[in-house]
Structure 1
C-alpha cells in the first residue's frame, strides 16, 4: 500500500508551495473548474507522428499486472484507428505523478491525460489544470447513462462529471469458509452487522487464528462510517462548499471504534498493521478468519488461500440500514491548456476505454470494476463469474449501494493528512485509548489541515 507518512508529507509540501504561489496564480485560476462551450484552450496543433497521427501522453501509476493490461489496452486503441496515438507512461506512485504534473499543469507541456487517485479529486478540481469531462460529454452528446451510476457519483460535483472513472474498487469482507464450518457457522451466510461479526469472531478464535482483522488504514474507517449513512465532514461532505468541520467523530464513527475496541479487548481482533501484504498473508496462512480488503484483492485471496474463500458485503452497525460503499481507486483527468486536437485524441481514447469489451478485459485482468456494466454481459466475464462467483458479490454490493451524500464520498483536499490522523487514532485505540478521545483527536487534526487548505486555496 501507499506509504501514509510519505503521502502526508507530500500534501503538506503541496500546501506550502500553494502559499508561495497564491499571489501569482489567483487570477489565472478564477472559474477554472467551469465547463466552457469549447473544451479547447489552445488554437495550436499538438505533436504528431510521421504518418500524421496526433500523439498524446498518458501519465499513469499502474504497475505489475495493471500496467501490463493497460499497455495492451493502449496498443489496442492505437491499432483500432489511424488518427491518434496514445503513449502510456508510468510515473511512479500517485503522489509522484501528481508532483510531476504540478510542474507542467495548465501548460502545453502537460500530458493530455493523467491518472489521479480518488482522494486527489478536490485538489484537481481546484487546481486550474484540468478541463472537466462534462465539456466533452455535452459537446459530443455522450450517453453517460451507459456507465455505472454509483461509480460516476463520486466524480460528479453539482451534477457535472470532472474526470473519467477508471480503476475503481470498493471494500469487501473476505472470510475463510473452512474455518466457518469448523466453528459451527454457516459458510454461506457471512455476518452482516457489527454484533454478528463480534459474535462470529469469538467463535472463530483459536490459539492460532484471530476472528477478525482490518488494515490500519483510513479508507476502511471511511467506508464503515458511510455505510451507516454518516458524513465524514460538513458542507454536505465537502460537496456544497469547502469543508471546515470533521463529522466522523460523531455517532457513526464511534460505532466503528467501539466495534473494533470490543474485539480488540476480547482478544479476537488481529492487528496486522498498515501493510496490505501482511494482512493478506495472515489470511492465506490461517492466522485470521475474516478481514476487510479491496474488491481488487479478491482474486489474490482466492488464488493464494489453501481453503475455500467467501466474499461478503462490509458490515454495518446494528441500529441502521446498510447504505453501501464509496468508490475508491483512481480516475483519468483531461489537461487544460494543451492543443485542441490533443484534447480530441484524449477524449476518443477515454470513450474507447469505456466500451464493454475493453472494460471486460480490464475487469478480468485486474479485478477492478467495469465502469460500463454491459461488460459483465460479455461471455468471458460470465465464464469467469461462473468459476468464481465471489466476483459477482463485489459488483452486487456496488449496485445495491443507496445513492446519497454518504456513499457519494467526501471531497476534501487534505484527505491524505486526514487518513493519517485516523491511522494514529486506530493505533492509539488498540493501545487502550478511549474510543471517543482517539476520534476527537483525529477530528481536530483534520480540521487544522482543512483550515490551512482553505486559507491557501
Structure 2
C-alpha cells in the first residue's frame, strides 16, 4: 500500500505522461465529459463559509461534467438542496476526468480535498490503494442498501481489498452503431460475429480508383475497443496473477491486431487520427462516410438527433464470446471528509432517490445503475420509445473489465503506444506486443 507521499509523486509523474500521449481513455469513454469552465479548488472556501453561516452542513462535490451534462448535474444538485434543509451541496466542475484527478491529488496532499468526488473508473483503484477513499460498506448497511441493489455489470471498479470504495454514476459501454439503411440497400444483415463483421464491412466499401469514399467500419482511437476484442477472444488484459499481460503469449493480441490491420488494408476500416477521434468518426457516420462504428453509448443521443437514415445499435460482435468493457465515472466519499454523514446522504440520495440519479440518467443517456432504476416506468418508457438505448443495458450481461488494476493508468500509456505503432506506423505486430509485454511486466513488478 502506497503512502500519501508516494501516491502524490507517482500520480504527478503519471499524469504528465498521460498528458503527453495525446489521447487517453478519460474522455473517449466518458459518454461526453464535455468542456466547461473549470473552478479552482482554492475558490470554494468562501462558498463553504457562507453555507455554514446559514446553519447547514456544506458538502463539497467535485465532478467532471460540463456542457449539457453539467447542466443536468447542476439540476440534480439543486433538487437535493431543495429537499434537504440541513445540507447544502456545492457542486464544482473541475474540468475533464484527468483534470479532476490532477486537482484531487493536489487537494489530498494539502488536506483540502472535497467531501465527495467523481472519479473516472480507471483511477478508482489507484486512489483506493492510497487509503484516501472511504469504505462505503457501513454507510450502505445503515441505509439498508447492498451491492445487489446495483447493476452488476457496472460494479467492477467499485471494490478494493474487499472494501466498497465507489458507486457507479455516469457510466457507459461501447456498442456497435449501424447505418441500417446502408445495410438494407445491399441486403446485408447486422453482423453478430467477427467473420460477419468483416464480410459486411468489406461489402460497404466504396472506392474511386484507389481512394476510399466510404468505409465499412470505424472506431475512435482508444484502448477500449482492442480490450473489448481481447475479451471477445477469451483473453484477459492482465493475467490472473497481475504479473503480465494475459493476451500475448496465447496469441490473442496478435489475432486482434491482425484482424484490424486486415480490415484497414482493404479500406473496410477507417482508423482516425488520435486528436478528436471520437468527433471525427461520429461526423463521418452521420455523413454516411462510414457504415458502422464501435462507439460509446454516450453518443446515442447526439447521433439520433443528427442522422437522416435508419440508425440502430447492436451488441459488439463476438469472436469466441460476447464481451465488452465499461467506461465512465463512479462517485466516491473521500476519507478525509469531516462531513461524512452529510456527504453519504448526498451519495445515497443521488444513487437511490427517484429525483436523484434517475432524472439525471433520463436526461443524459448514461446507463441506469440500480435495479429499481431499470424497473422504473420512466426507464421502461424510454426504452420503448428509443430501443437503441436498451441495447446498451442488455449488453451489460457480458460486461467484463480485465484491465482492472492499480497499475492500469500507467500501463494504459504503454498500450496506447502499442496501438499507435501498429495502427498508424504499421510496425510488426508481434514485435510491438513483445515490447509492450516487457514494459508492462516492469510496471507490474514495481
> Normalised by the size of structure 2, how large is the TM-score?
0.82
Residue 287 of structure 2: aligned partner: 285
Q: Secondary structure at the match of 1:368?
A: coil
Stretches of structure 2 that go unaligned for 5 or more consecutive residues are: 1-8, 18-47, 208-212
**Aligned-residue RMSD, C-alpha:** 2.5
Query: Structure 2 matches for 1:249-264, cutoff 5 A?
Result: 249=248, 250-264=250-264
Query: Structure 2 matches for 1:54-453, cutoff 5 A?
Result: 54-105=57-108, 109-186=112-189, 190-207=190-207, 208-236=213-241, 243-249=242-248, 250-274=250-274, 275-317=277-319, 320-322=320-322, 324-339=323-338, 342-355=339-352, 357=354, 358-398=356-396, 400-401=397-398, 407-430=400-423, 431-451=425-445
Q: Does the CA contact (< 8 Å) of 1:113 and 1:335 recur in 2?
A: yes
Q: Secondary structure at the match of 2:177?
A: strand
Q: Does the CA contact (< 8 Å) of 1:217 and 1:422 recur in 2?
A: no
Offset of 1:114 from its aligned partner? 1.2
Separation in 2, partners of 1:175, 1:332: 32
Offset of 1:307 from its aligned partner? 1.1
Q: 1:11 to 1:291 in 2, by over 3 A?
A: farther
Offset of 1:69 from its aligned partner? 0.6
Q: Does the CA contact (< 8 Å) of 2:171 and 2:329 recur in 1?
A: yes
Offset of 1:61 from its aligned partner? 0.9
Stretches of structure 1 that go unaligned for 5 or more consecutive residues are: 1-8, 18-45, 237-242
Residue 41 of structure 1: aligned partner: none
Please say which of residues 148-157 and 376-385 is displaced more in the overlay: 376-385
Q: 1:440 to 1:216 in 2, by over 3 A?
A: farther
Separation in 2, partners of 1:12, 1:260: 34
Q: 1:435 to 1:194 in 2, by over 3 A?
A: farther
Separation in 2, partners of 1:227, 1:136: 37
Q: 1:158 to 1:378 in 2, by over 3 A?
A: same
Please say which of residues 63-72 and 215-224 is displaced more in the overlay: 215-224
Instruction: Give the paired residue count.
Output: 397
Offset of 1:395 from its aligned partner? 0.6
Residue 33 of structure 1: aligned partner: none
Separation in 1, partners of 2:393, 2:16: 40
Q: Does the CA contact (< 8 Å) of 1:118 and 1:331 recur in 2?
A: yes
Separation in 2, partners of 1:374, 1:166: 15
Offset of 1:206 from its aligned partner? 1.2
Q: Does the CA contact (< 8 Å) of 2:224 and 2:325 recur in 1?
A: no
Q: Secondary structure at the match of 2:171?
A: strand
Separation in 2, partners of 1:156, 1:413: 12
Q: Secondary structure at the match of 2:52?
A: coil
* Deviation per residue, 1:102-150 (Å, 9 max, x gap): 2231775320011111111221111222212223224444233221111
Separation in 2, partners of 1:64, 1:169: 17
Offset of 1:383 from its aligned partner? 3.1
Offset of 1:326 from its aligned partner? 2.4
Separation in 1, partners of 2:74, 2:15: 33
Q: Does the CA contact (< 8 Å) of 1:119 and 1:415 recur in 2?
A: yes
Q: Secondary structure at the match of 1:412?
A: coil
Q: Does the CA contact (< 8 Å) of 1:154 and 1:327 recur in 2?
A: no
Q: Secondary structure at the match of 1:131?
A: coil
Separation in 1, partners of 2:378, 2:77: 20
Offset of 1:416 from its aligned partner? 3.5
Q: Does the CA contact (< 8 Å) of 2:205 and 2:216 recur in 1?
A: yes
